[in-house]
Structure 1
Amino acid sequence: MIESLTLDQLRVLLTIADTGSFSAAGRKLYRAQSSISQAVAALEQVQGVLLFDRSGHRPVLTEIGRVLVDQARRVLASAQQFEAVAASTRAGVEPELTLAIDPPIPSSPLIESIRALNAMFPDLPVTFSTEGFGGSLRRLRSKTADLGICVLLPLVPDDMVAFPLMQVQLQAVVARDHPLATLGRPAERDDLAPYVQLVLSDPVDPGSPNYGLAGERLWRFVDLGRRLDFLLAGFGWCRMPHYLIAQPMADGLLVPIDIAGDQTPAEGLTIYAAHLRERPPGRAGRWLLTDLKARLNRGL
């Protein structure tokens, strides 16, 4: 029965399986062979199964013994993880770190920092949530994310603490066969009106503020990659991060367009690392913030 099962019994079982004998297991665990035999006998009695065939010179795992050895490995590994997470929490590390990431954020600046975070805090569970535009802010406010890597427009909200990380350049583009591709001058609002603008929005709150709207026909997307697919297929125009469209533009698949009176910042969108003012990050979150800023300052 489960209440009679102990981690020590499972540890003895695994050690016998790994060393090949009761006596070798006793030496490895610094215990008398009789103690090892008693632990196995107690485990067999309580569970009502025969774990080892003892008819030969050495004990041999039975069929059910082999199955339960695999189960014991999983149980002990989970117990070790349990202890590691508890120890980390005592040391000020959050039990889990949840990151909410807005769609315009490039992956490459995050990858090396996350790799380093994993090396520094190997027992820390990390959860990623890629949100629709503005979704990271919603996740932070609902306290379902610890840190947001996000765009904050038009200003950093008062309830947030935010650290600028990088700039993402934007360019308005259309597919090469789109009518706007041959306009030959900055597009006015009347020029844009007949055509679809492909915009990013928050699927949970489609009425949330949108920025950079210049068209009258809007198709809303959550995923940046999906929007790029529709852009390349000629369904409309939009502003895209330059790092995503540099190659399609070089290949002639996308054509840049100018928009009259465009108020998109010339320096691009500012990407922030943000957290709710009342919920400062733990030790791992602070470490990640410091590492991200250092890497981006070095230009990765």
Structure 2
Amino acid sequence: MNLSHLKMLITVAELGSLQKSADHLSRTQSAVSMALKKLEDSAGFALFNRSGYRLQLTEQGQHFLRQAEEVVRQQERLQSLTEQLKYGAEPLLTLCYDHTCDSKLWLPSIEHIQQHYPATEVHIDGESQMRALKRIDNGSADLALCPWLPLFRQYGDFETLPVAPFELTVAIASSLVDDFERIPSSRQDLLELPMLVPQNLEIGINLDAVLRLPSQQRIRVNEVNTQFELLKAGFGWGIIPKHIAHNAIKQGKLVEITIPGFIQQVSLEIHLVRSANRTLGPAANAIWESFA
């Protein structure tokens, strides 16, 4: 058994076709087929049931695949660690945060890097619609801060640390309350007002299906600061991070909506996220340990 054969096995199991796998791996179909045969000869049992149109793993093959995936992950971690040991501290450290989070959470980390890793250049990128998670998954960022739900684990192999509370609140502009002549107090009231709602998240979650919120008219935005400005301008009601709306609520520009039996305040957590498949460099690991 060798790693290239195991990687071919993982690809075939995912795509269910020798030809598609060969195209994906830039190999010939015969090369992929031969690799699977060598694996089966070495294992002593069939990995795939070849009787159908799509290749399906046998029961033994499913158990074999899980271990093969772990072997490949361990190899990737070892390769990543080797690179870090070879070159020392990383020349570039990329930190991401979702715009719904307070970017000031990064300030102690940046100060630490400046003091202890002066040769490391730091990039700080704000992202919307949970693109920060996608960047951790595809390796274009080292660490990310974002609101966290357990279901996000199905979209990548992540490790996380809770770092701060995250509250959402339902709000509306005081000017729109005046036009409506009362503070909305029922789901029916909300149906009569436009809703400012985020566009579907980049990681594949349909917010309409998850939230099931009432409103006949919707204005979709892809960035929370735009949503906040539209809220203050009286274009509708919406759900927004409480730390963003706090001052506007205190100043009377926004009013919190309280409806019995409806979402009023949602308390989640902001997590620090990294990939479970890549070893962090010294600077990134120092940040991780400081949050831990």
Query: What TM-score range do you get, normalising by the shorter chain?
Result: 0.5 to 0.7
Report the equivalent of 2:139.
Answer: 143
Shift of 1:90: 4.1
Secondary structure of 1:155's aligned partner: helix
Report the equivalent of 2:61.
Answer: none
**Structure 1 length as normaliser, TM-score?**
0.60
Q: Cα gap change, 1:123/1:187 in structure 2, threshold over 3 Å: closer, same or farther?
A: farther
Shift of 1:269: 2.2
1:107-154 superposed Cα distances (whole Å, 9 cap, x missing partner): 222223212222211111222221112211111222211212112335
Taking the aligned partners of 1:141 and 1:114, their CA distance within structure 2 comes to: 22
Report the equivalent of 1:236.
Answer: 236
1:243-289 superposed Cα distances (whole Å, 9 cap, x missing partner): 222221121111110244335765x2210111121123221111112
Report the equivalent of 1:248.
Answer: 248
1:156-189 superposed Cα distances (whole Å, 9 cap, x missing partner): 405111111110222211000214975456431x
Q: Cα gap change, 1:235/1:247 in structure 2, threshold over 3 Å: closer, same or farther?
A: same
Taking the aligned partners of 1:199 and 1:89, their CA distance within structure 2 comes to: 46
Equivalences for residues 191-206 of structure 1 within 5 A: 191-201=189-199, 205=202
Report the equivalent of 1:178.
Answer: 176
Higher alpha-carbon deviation: 123-132 or 210-219? 210-219
Report the equivalent of 2:78.
Answer: none
Equivalences for residues 1-300 of structure 1 within 5 A: 90=86, 92-157=88-153, 159-179=157-177, 183-184=182-183, 186-188=185-187, 190-201=188-199, 205=202, 208-210=205-207, 211-212=210-211, 214-216=213-215, 217-263=217-263, 266=266, 268-293=267-292
Taking the aligned partners of 1:192 and 1:238, their CA distance within structure 2 comes to: 10
Judge conservation of contact 1:195–1:215 (CA < 8 Å) in 2: no
Judge conservation of contact 1:192–1:214 (CA < 8 Å) in 2: no
Report the equivalent of 1:20.
Answer: none
Taking the aligned partners of 1:187 and 1:280, their CA distance within structure 2 comes to: 50
Query: Which amino acid is the alignment partner of residue 231 of structure 1?
Result: L
Shift of 1:101: 1.0
Judge conservation of contact 1:164–1:270 (CA < 8 Å) in 2: yes
Secondary structure of 2:220's aligned partner: strand
Shift of 1:104: 1.3
Q: Cα gap change, 1:112/1:287 in structure 2, threshold over 3 Å: closer, same or farther?
A: same
Q: Cα gap change, 1:260/1:182 in structure 2, threshold over 3 Å: closer, same or farther?
A: farther
Query: Which amino acid is the alignment partner of residue 287 of structure 2?
Result: L
What do you get for the CA RMSD once the two structures are aligned?
A: 2.8
Taking the aligned partners of 2:88 and 2:211, their CA distance within structure 1 comes to: 41
Judge conservation of contact 1:166–1:271 (CA < 8 Å) in 2: yes
Count of matched residue pairs: 204
Report the equivalent of 1:32.
Answer: none
Q: Quick check: which one's helix share is greater?
A: 2
**Structure 2 length as normaliser, TM-score?**
0.61
